[in-house]
Amino acid sequence: MNNKLTVHINSFSYKREIPKDKSGNGGGFVFDCRAIHNPGRYNEYKTLTGKDKKVIAFLDKETEMQEFLKDVFSIIDKSVKKYIERKFSNLMINFGCTGGQHRSVYSAEKLSEYLNNNYDIKVITKHIEQEK
């Protein structure tokens, strides 16, 4: 039996709905990325996602994004440590933005990378808009 904590990280579009927690635990975190400068406003980024190098470079330079992620990492660190200590099996974390394409995808990827580099847990990342 696997006793490792599984963290489900989703990016989504607020034009649809906040993802439902399928673990039976009744939810998790929802972070709203819409206050961060949107690369999707510019033609050169419109067809790209937060996984593309150009969008990553754009958002890496955004002070708002870096401050946002620093706060997210701090909050999630506390929960992950506590969930591991209490032997919980699931945690869900959602990042939403207008289209679910740039800021939320970037944020989900950055948190996935951070958690994989800092904890012995299972991380499952899903980009809902890209997987449709």
Asked, for residue 1, whether it belongs to a domain, the answer is no
Asked, for residue 132, whether it belongs to a domain, the answer is no
Give the number of domains in the chain. Answer: 1
pTM: 0.94
**Domain range for 46:** 6-127
Q: Which residues contact 126 (CB under 8 A, 6 or more apart)?
A: 8, 9, 10, 11
Q: What is the pLDDT of residue 17?
A: 87
Tokens of 22: 């399928």
Asked, for residue 57, whether it belongs to a domain, the answer is yes
Over residues 48-88, the pLDDT tens digits come to 999 999 999 999 999 999 999 999 999 999 999 999 999 99
Helices and strands in the chain: count of H runs, count of E runs? 3, 4
Assign 2 a pLDDT band (cuts: 50, 70, 90): low
Q: What is the pLDDT of residue 56?
A: 97
Asked, for residue 19, whether it belongs to a domain, the answer is yes
- 92 in helix, strand or coil? strand
Q: What is the pLDDT of residue 112?
A: 98
- With beta carbons less than 8 A apart as the criterion, state whether 92 and 31 touch: no
Asked, for residue 29, whether it belongs to a domain, the answer is yes
Asked, for residue 115, whether it belongs to a domain, the answer is yes
